[in-house]
Amino acid sequence: MQHVEDTLWTRQLARDTLVETAVRYAGDKHWDVVPGTSVVEGTAGRRCSCSRPRCATPGAHPIMRDWAVQAASSPALVRRWWAEHPDAAILLPAGRGFDVIDVPEQAGCLALARLERMGLPLGPVIATPTRRLQFFVLPGARDTMGELLRRIGWGTSALDLVPKGEGDWVVAPPSRMGASGSASWAREPTELNRWLPQARELVSPIAYACGRSLAQAR
């Protein structure tokens, strides 16, 4: 029965509009949500709705300057925001219900397969159109990542492994990100993975995958 409920939730998420998806993240998952900018089509091509000509993260940054204060899990407030900005990207602030371990797609896919074979606990995983995978873990990962990597023999700058915590955000599916495409779930959020793992449970297989990808690229 639980598997059926999770499948139905995933199918519904795929059918939802941005506002309905944002509401479901807030109401069902109890994640804080904040509206981001959107990608605008124009005669000169795609640009960010913030109108900065050289925006580094088109469609992928908050609309509000005080977004960290404004972010909330109130479905009514979320509906109001998206009524005003219907094409806004859905941003989920890190450092609250979760932190994120952000790695290159190739390494992330290798790590994901390795973690599943090992039977280790996994939370949701976002796949970005910029070819990154983002693993959800319990808050505190960013503050401890340097020490965790040193313990297993990696320097903090040796790997393309970026922990995201308080003050950071992730772009949630199905939000569009620049000209690259839309964010998607490599591993959907369901009731089966709502209990997130500690970063220390995942860091060794993920670091190994990043190191292997780095060696292959040289």
pLDDT of residue 41: 78
- The Cα 88–Cα 26 span in angstroms is 15
How many CB atoms neighbour CB 153 within 10 A?
10
Distances (CA, A) of 50 to 2, 36, 58, 65, 83: 42, 10, 8, 12, 18
Count of structural domains within the chain: 1
pLDDT of residue 8: 55
φ, ψ of residue 67 to 5 degrees: the values are: -55, -35
pLDDT of residue 218: 65
Q: Which structural domain range is residue 144 located in?
A: 2-217
How many CB atoms neighbour CB 172 within 10 A?
24
- The Cα 197–Cα 203 span in angstroms is 11
pLDDT of residue 14: 47
pLDDT of residue 185: 96
Residue 90 structure tokens = 């859905």
Assign 3-class secondary structure to 20-74. Answer: HHHHHHHHCCCCCEEEECCEEEECCEEEECCCCCCCCCCCCCECCCCHHHHCECC
Q: What's the sign of the alpha-carbon dihedral 47, 51, 54, 55?
A: negative
φ, ψ of residue 154 to 5 degrees: the values are: -115, 135
pTM score: 0.89
pLDDT of residue 214: 79
Which residues in the chain land under pLDDT 50?
Answer: 1-2, 4-6, 14
Hey, is 77 helix, strand or coil? Answer: helix
